[in-house]
Amino acid sequence: MRRTEGIRALFDIDPLPARRWCWPTFVVPGTGVEREIPSMPGQYNYSVDRLIPAVERVIRQGIGSVMVFGQADAPKDNGGSAAWCPHAPVQEAVRALKRAFPDLTVWTDVCLCAYTAHGHCAPLRPDGTPDNDAGCMALAKVALSHVEAGADGVAPSAMMDGQVRAIRSALDEAGFEERLLMAYSAKFASALYGPFRDAEGSAPVAVPGAPTDRRGYQASYANPDSAMLELVQDEAEGADILMVKPALFYLDMLRRAKERTLLPVAAYNVSGEYAMIHATARQGWGDLDDLARESLLALTRAGADLIISYWAPFYGRLFGKRR
């Protein structure tokens, strides 16, 4: 059954097609900025003007959607108020993307951690603990500002309880019933987000009384049932798509999610997964493209309906020709 390329090709499954991929992008204030992120080779911080040609190159690969992450261009505060400024980099990027590529599906990440002075995903109470419900109210404002700018869908990543319901009702009340909500449902407190935090400037900083990490709200990798519960709750709260993040260390969760829901399940192939493959290849310990292809096919095999990945700009190189 494996003797020839032709026989193998008869029965091999294909990687998820490019149209079912999403490229996460990092937009920063200013103009003329295109700065490579040191821990993520081939990925850049872009100002809005430079983002457009970069996205055009990605669309040429057939990639179906992008997700916009941003940095604050105003002082950070306890509540992360710069996140819902209508003219912040994310909102401006969404407007520019929809103007340049009306048919491109544009998602936005909805969180506060790149905008709060302490780097947590919700405001902190005076005693330093994250305020879940105030977080939900702020996230709803952020999501609304993104869809007002034209986003097709929002993806709340703060892992606050009730955030999906809060955002869904805010969007519905404002007349955006048809905009999509992709829930970061099973977002684990992972050690794989380091390179991303370089790109976003969003690592938690030391504040008296405040937690030094996000384990108080992100899912525990040692408690898979609690992550499943988040998925079930997000579906009940009105999510349209459920996400598992990270992806490669959580293929079992991806598979469990697929078996539990009829909603599409997205796999977020995070910065640390991308960086570790690059690091291995740079050491000469493996071939970059072979490692990438094998890891990405694992996501397809586990049942991902949408792959959110930094490999998106390289889809043609990886999968253009049959291997």
- Return the number of the residue (114 or 248) whose C-beta is nearest Zn ion: 114
Q: CB nearer to Zn ion: give 96 or 199.
A: 199
Burial class (CB in 10 A: 0-12, 13-18, 19+), 14: exposed
Instruction: State in angstroms the smallest separation of the CB of 115 from Zn ion.
Output: 9
Residue placing its CB nearer to Zn ion in the complex, 58 or 230: 230
Q: Which helix (H) or strand (E) holds 27?
A: strand 21-27
CA dihedral 258, 59, 272, 257 (to 10 degrees): -10
- Report the distance separating Cα 194 and Cα 203, nearest Å: 8
Q: Could you write out the DSSP letters of every residue in 265-278?
A: EEEEE-HHHHHHHH
Which spans in 27-131 are helix H?
Answer: 48-59, 89-100
Q: Nearest distance from residue 130's CB to Zn ion, in Å?
A: 10
| Residue 55 binds Zn ion (CB under 5 A) | no
**Binding mask of the shown chain, residues 10 to 29, with x at each position contacting Zn ion by CB under 5 A:** --------------------
- If the CB atoms of residues 53 and 220 are measured against Zn ion, the closer one turns out to be 220
Number of residues in contact with Zn ion under rule CB under 5 A:
3
Answer yes or no: are the C-beta atoms of 144 and 174 closer than 8 Å. Answer: yes
Catalytic residues: 187, 245
What CA–CA distance (Å, rounded) separates 165 from 170? 8
Minimum Å distance from CB 33 to Zn ion? 22
The distance from CA 295 to its chain's CA centroid, rounded to whole angstroms, is 18
In whole angstroms, how close is the CB of 244 to Zn ion at the nearest point? 17
Angle between helices 48-59 and 89-100 (to 10 degrees): 40
- Give 111 or 247: the residue with its C-beta nearer to Zn ion: 111
In the complex, the smallest distance separating the C-beta of residue 111 from Zn ion, rounded to whole angstroms, is 3
- Binding residues for Zn ion restricted to 201-220, rule: CB under 5 A: none
Which residue lies nearer to Zn ion by CB, 40 or 113? 113
What φ, ψ does residue 150 adopt, rounded to 5°? 120, 5
Q: C-alpha distances in angstroms, 143 versus 37, 42, 177, 183? A: 26, 29, 13, 12
> How would DSSP label each residue in 64-91?
-EEEEEE--SS--BSS-GGGG-TTSHHH
Q: What is the nearest approach in angstroms of Zn ion to the Cβ of residue 311?
A: 23
Q: Which of 46, 201, 183 is nearest to 119 (CA)?
A: 201
Return the residues of window 96-125 that contact Zn ion according to CB under 5 A. 111, 113, 121
Residues forming contacts to Zn ion in the complex (CB under 5 A) are 111, 113, 121
